[in-house]
Amino acid sequence: MKIHNEFLNDNSIKHLGSYINVFKVIDSVNSSFDLFLCDIKELIDLLINSKPGSKYTLINRVGLLRAYAKWCIDNKKESNKDVLTMLDSLDIDDIWDKLKYVVDQKYINHAQYLDITAELEWEDYNALYYKTLFMAIYEGIYDKDLYSIRHLRARDIRNDCHVLIKKRSGNLYLKITEELRNNLIELSKIDIWESFSYRGENPAKTIMRGEYPDSVFKVTTKSLSSITTKSFKEFCYNKFKKIYKNYLGFKLKPHSLYLSGLMHKIQIRCKEDSYNINDIFSLHKKDAFFTNYVTKILTENGYEYSVYRFRMNIIDFMYVFSE
C-alpha cells in the first residue's frame, strides 16, 4: 500500500502503531493498493480479504484509513477528497454480513461441542485427559493462566455435581454436569501418560505429577519442583491445540471455548425464562435489563470481567449460537 513517509514521521500522530498494523495487513492482501485511486468495490474487496476478526476490528480499520486519508488531504499530499465520502458511505453491517463466511470462526455452539467430545473418546491414547480438559474449560473451570485447572483436586468435587473452583481472585462452587464430575474423579486416579512406541505394540508410558496427590490434571515432569505456571500451561495448551487441529478445523482458543460454554448457559437460562437470546443481545450494551440479566449469569459462573467486555467479544458472532 502506498504510504507517505511524512505521515509515519509526524510526531503529532497518536497510536501510530495501530496505523502501521493496518498498513501491514493491507499490504499483505494487496501491496499495490492505492486508497486514493481505488473505487468502492475494490475497497470493500480489500476489507473483506483482510479478514478482520470482528466487527469492531472492521470499524477500527475503516476509521484509521479515513484518518490517514484526511491527514493526506489536509497536508496536501493527496487531492482526491472523494475518498473521504467513499469511506463514510461504507455499509459496515453489510460488509460484516459478508465477512461472517470468510473470517475464522472464534466460538462453537453446543452441537459442535457435543460432536467433539464424542469424537475425543476415540483418541488412541489419553482419551479421558483430552476429553475432560475440553469439557472442563467449556463448563467453566478456567482462568487465563489455568490456575483453577492446575489446582483442581478430587476432594473438591462433591456428589451433588458442584466443584470448588480456586481462582486467584477467590473461590466459588460451580455446578457441572454429572458426566464431567465422573470424568474428573476418574482422571484424578490416573498418573500415566501414554504415547506411541516405535519399539513394540505397547504404548510408551511416562509418569505424570500434579500439584497435589489427588490433582485431577497432572503433567509429565521429572519432579514436583519443576511444575511451574508456565510448564503446566504449556502442557495443557499443547493438548488443547491437538484437539482443535484434529477435530475442529479452525483455531479455537481456550478462552473462546470458555466463552462458548458461558453462552450455552445463557441460552439455557433464556429458554427457562422464555426469552430469545438474540433479542437479549440486541439490546444496547448499557441497557439495564441486559446488564443485570447477563451479569447475574456470568457472576454465578465465575466470569471475572465486565458484561460489556463479554458482549463485545460475542456480539459479532451471535450467528454461531443461533438455533
**Using N-to-C axis directions, what is the helix angle for 40-49 and 16-29, rounded to 10°?**
100
Average pLDDT, the chain: 88
CA dihedral 275, 259, 58, 63 (to 10 degrees): 90
Instruction: Report the share of the chain in percent with pLDDT over 90.
Output: 51
110 CB-near residues (< 8 Å, 6+ apart): 264, 267
pLDDT at 151: 94
Q: For the CA atoms of the chain, what is the radius of gyration? A: 24
Q: What are the sequence ranges of the domains in the chain?
A: 5-99, 105-323
Residue from 265, 150, 290 nearest 216 by CA:
150
3-state secondary structure of 173: strand
Could you tell me how far CA 319 lies from the centroid of its own chain?
A: 15
- 163 near 157, Cβ under 8 Å? yes
Mean of pLDDT values over 219-237: 82
- 102 near 51, Cβ under 8 Å? yes
- 277 near 321, Cβ under 8 Å? yes
Q: What is the pLDDT of residues 176-194, one digit of tens each?
A: 999 999 999 999 999 999 8
- Rounded CA gap, 109 and 183, in Å? 22
- Rounded CA gap, 119 and 3, in Å? 49
* End-to-end alpha carbon distance in the chain: 41
Q: Is the pLDDT assigned to residue 323 strictly greater than 80?
A: no
3-state secondary structure of 153: strand
- Rounded CA gap, 136 and 128, in Å? 12
- 236 near 141, Cβ under 8 Å? no
Q: Which residue has the cell 495487513?
A: 25
- 99 near 58, Cβ under 8 Å? yes
Q: Is the pLDDT assigned to residue 222 strictly greater than 70?
A: no
User: DSSP letters along 268-309, please?
Assistant: HHHHHTT--HHHHHHS-TT-HHHHHHHHHHHHHTT--S-HHH
Confidence label for 50 from pLDDT (cuts 50, 70 and 90): confident
What architecture is domain 105-323? Answer: Orthogonal Bundle (1.10)
Confidence label for 223 from pLDDT (cuts 50, 70 and 90): low
143 CB-near residues (< 8 Å, 6+ apart): 167, 168, 304
pLDDT at 102: 62
Residue from 182, 179, 175 nearest 301 by CA:
175
Element (H, E) at 172: strand 170-175
Residue from 132, 61, 122 nearest 96 by CA:
61
